[in-house]
Amino acid sequence: MTARDSTEPRVRLAAEDWIAADRRHVWHPYTQMKTAPAPLAIARGEGAYLIAADGRRILDAISSWWVNIHGHAHPRLNAALAEQAGRLEHVLFAGCAHEPAARLAEELSRRAPAGLERVFYSDDGSTAVEVALKMAWQSWRNRGDTRRDLFVALAHGYHGDTFGAMAVGGVASFHAVFAPLFCAVRRAHAPRCFEEPGVAEGSPCSQGCSGTVEEILEREGERVAAVLVEPMVQGAGGMLVQPPEFLRGVRAATLRHGVPLIADEVFTGFGRTGRMFACEHAGVAPDLLCVSKALTGGYLPLAATLATEAIYEAFLSDARGRALLHGHSFTANPLACAVALESLRIFDEERCLERVGVLERRFAPALAALAEHPAVAAVRGLGAIAAVELRPRGTAGYLSELGPWLYGRFLARDLLLRPLGDVIYFLPPYMIDDADVDRVFTAIGAVLGELENGFA
């Protein structure tokens, strides 16, 4: 046996063996390991499909946690990855630079809302948010203002699972157990237009929804380090779509009070809402912008926090301690940056924004039909996002038993849909076939029919 052979059995396990290894050793995210069913054993990806170890072809109808926009195992992304791996797989990013990170920073700042010229890399959505919070917090202190000890964030918001991101998050069922460890956050109202009689989604926000942000800033503005929002759609909070007037109102309030606005576009960025960035729907340019998820087309963990020159300049000093002393081992990983650049090229060449517009128009009548179903409380859509909220809503929220039941019913139809409690959402890669779109809406209707008979 050669030295190479001696290592091979460990990596060349048959499917049953690796599934057993998973059961024995792996602790899965967002999973009650005692009661959850066995995880889906996925062997391969192919376009909008995941191929299970037992050969089933399962439609990835949620883009693998909202990251995949061009489909799985995309030949061009594979080639970009291999090409970069042959050149430079990784190098530390403090004191070193490389072409993929430089070119990607240039591309991101060119595509982002105006004024976001500086790009700080990190690893995932949560760390992009941590970096934004730290930038806002320290920029005040670097300028000599030590009064800023609060953040303002929205009800129903979700920004990730690290401590700063959890603190600003507004979905109690995710993070309440850690609440004693959080920094100070004031919670502002977020629009749920579908619950407010007479206020249609997307209509001028007659309820003055952004008013509580304004009120907090009136009252405590001199203590606020930054206001943080998920622009246009609060994803994990239940795919809650906002009217653009809300974001415009929040932006106007932050400008009046001289407080930075952080737009968390980790979910909404890269076309998901029908614009490159959701802020564009409202014509808003934030001071800090967080991106991740679809940045690499769903291939590799990479994130970026984009900042204005004014925030960047607050860190320039002869004192080294005024620098942003933040970084990760894999900051600006060249493989991830090269794949992100190729993903953006595909985005342009395959006219992804137009495709998202087509999807939005195909979703609209299907959502309208589902809205008539007696089990449905509300439907919501924007870009390549479709959501169906069931009655009764708001009881156990994310931890509603309905979620796992629905998941199982969809999986029985070879569809990977993973409802957020009683909110079913469909969020496909942009290249999904029209026939598959129709199949998903038909399946949602059929599962609602089953729901009528009660769920076990």
Ligand X SMILES: Cc1ncc(COP(=O)(O)O)c(C=O)c1O
Interface positions with ligand X (CB under 6 A): 124-126, 129, 158-160, 230, 235-236, 264, 266-267, 292
Candidate list 60, 123, 124, 264, residue with the active-site label: 264
Residue 147 CB, nearest distance to ligand X (Å)?
27
Considering beta carbons, is residue 236 or 341 the nearer one to ligand X?
A: 236
407 in catalytic set: no
Structure tokens at 53: 């170890």
Considering beta carbons, is residue 66 or 140 the nearer one to ligand X?
A: 66
Candidate list 49, 158, 398, 425, residue with the active-site label: 158
Mutual orientation of helices 434-452 and 402-411 as an angle, nearest 10°?
Answer: 130
The Cα-based distances of 16 to 39, 42, 74, 233 in angstroms read 13, 12, 27, 40
**By Cβ distance, which residue is nearest to ligand X?**
125
Considering beta carbons, is residue 221 or 260 the nearer one to ligand X?
A: 260
293 in catalytic set: yes
Residue 300 CB, nearest distance to ligand X (Å)?
12
- Evaluate whether 239 touches 385 at the Cβ level (below 8 Å): yes
Residue 260 CB, nearest distance to ligand X (Å)?
17
Considering beta carbons, is residue 264 or 389 the nearer one to ligand X?
A: 264
34 in catalytic set: no
Considering beta carbons, is residue 235 or 429 the nearer one to ligand X?
A: 235
User: Residue-wise over 278-291: b if at least 16 C-beta within 10 A, else e?
Assistant: bbbbbebbbbbbbb
Residue 255 CB, nearest distance to ligand X (Å)?
23
Residue 265 CB, nearest distance to ligand X (Å)?
7
Instruction: Give the integer Cα–Cα distance in Å for 119 and 117.
Output: 7
Candidate list 17, 22, 30, 145, residue with the active-site label: 30
Q: Which long-range contacts (CB under 8 A, 24 or more apart) does 135-141 make?
A: 135/288, 135/305, 135/307, 135/311, 135/315, 135/324, 136/225, 136/226, 136/260, 136/262, 136/287, 136/288, 136/311, 137/225, 137/226, 138/314, 138/315, 138/324, 139/260, 139/311, 139/314, 139/315, 140/225, 140/314
Candidate list 293, 422, 425, 430, residue with the active-site label: 293
425 in catalytic set: no
Closest listed residue to residue 159, CA positions, set 260, 69, 227: 227
Active-site residues, by number, are 30, 158, 264, 293
